[in-house]
Every structure is written in structure tokens, then in C-alpha cells.
Amino acid sequence: MDQLKFYKYATSGLLLLNVAIIAFFFLTRPKHPRPRPAENFSEEVKEILNLTEQQTQTFATLAREHSEAMRSINDQQQRLVLPYFERLTDSSITLTRDSVLSEIQQLERQKVEVTYRHLEDLKGLLNKDQLPHFKVFMQRFTHRVLGGDKKSPPLPKEMN
């Protein structure tokens, strides 16, 4: 075998090895965890609180109203935030920083208040036998919806 054939085979072999390694990484990469849809959480709430059929219907109505209120607040917030940042590139936008930040802060406050009222309404649905389960529900709620006891990632070494 002359030198030229050897290099051809070696190059082909290395090329196949690289393709196999790349294919291995793409085929074995872990799947991204998918966020659980809200319906699953609704089912979990029904199970935790042991809701009756009538309570389940009322809960569904309350959840829909809460979702619509949150969507409305988020839409208002987006209408404020986008122009606020766009003024960095467009000097014709005349928004005052303090007024926009104040409105955004009020909308965040509304979110918290709407959610609190929603939870109060949910608690008001429960009978005396179901009330002890509300604490378990609140722990799950804060963990799942609010990102409860998640630890903050450590600061980069440059920040320490």
C-alpha cells in the first residue's frame, strides 16, 4: 500500500469517526423538561383539596377569571415596557422613566393582589374537612407557581 492510499483511508476513517461522534451527541442529548400545563396543576389542586363536583366547577370559574385578569395585567405591562426600552433607540418617544416604572410597579402590585384574592376565594370554597389540606396546597402553590424554595444560582467569581 503506498502512502497516498494510506492517507486516503486514514482521512476517510477520521471523517467517519467525527460524523459518528457528532451523531452520538445529537442522539443522546437529554430532552428539555417541558413545563407542566396549568390544567395539570388544576387537577393536582382538585386532588389535594379533595373538591366536590360543585366546588370543582366554581374553582374552574375562579381559575379562568384569575387567568384572564393576569393576562390583562401582563398585556398592560408589555405595552409599557416595550416603549420604555425602545426609547433607547428612538429619541422621539417621550416617556418619563419614573412614571413608567411607577406604573409597572402598580401593575406588579395588582398581580399580587389579584392572586391573593383568588387564593382567598379558593379558601372560601372549602368546608371544614378540606381546610387542613389548604396548607399543603399553599406549599405546592408557592413551590410551583411562585418558584418557592428555589435557591439562587451562585454569583460568578468576578462578582464575589
Number of domains in the chain: 1
Query: What's the rounded mean pLDDT across residues 31-40?
Result: 64
- Are 143 and 136 contacting, i.e. CB atoms less than 8 angstroms apart? no
pLDDT given at position 153: 54
Has residue 5 been placed in a domain? no
pLDDT of residue 160: 44
| pLDDT grade for 38, boundaries at 50, 70 and 90 | low
Is the CB of residue 130 less than 8 Å from the CB of residue 49?
yes
- 71 in a structural domain: yes
For position 157, what pLDDT does the model report? 56
Decide if 23 is inside a domain: no
Instruction: Give me the mean pLDDT over the 136-145 stretch.
Output: 86
What pLDDT score was predicted for residue 147?
A: 73
Query: Is residue 47 assigned to a domain?
Result: yes
Specify if 26 maps to a domain: no
- Residue 2 predicted with pLDDT over 50: yes
Residue 13 backbone dihedrals phi, psi, to 5 degrees: -60, -45
In this prediction, residue 159 has a pLDDT band, given cuts at 50, 70 and 90, of very low
State the residue range of the domain holding 133.
Answer: 38-144
Domain containing 43 — which CATH number? Answer: 1.20.120
Examine residue 128 and state whether it is found in any structural domain, yes or no.
Answer: yes
Helix H, strand E, coil C: the string for the chain is CCHHHHHHHHHHHHHHHHHHHHHHHHHHCCCCCCCCCHHHHHHHHHHHHCCCHHHHHHHHHHHHHHHHHHHHHHHHHHHHHHHHHHCCCCCCCCCCHHHHHHHHHHHHHHHHHHHHHHHHHHHHHCCCCCHHHHHHHHHHHHHHCCCCCCCCCCCCCCCC
Mean pLDDT of the chain: 84
Residue 6 lies in a domain: no
pLDDT in tens, 54-111: 999 999 999 999 999 999 999 999 988 887 787 778 777 677 778 888 898 999 999 9
Judge whether 80 lies within some domain: yes
Q: What average pLDDT does this structure show over 9-24? A: 92
What is the pTM for the complete model shown? 0.64
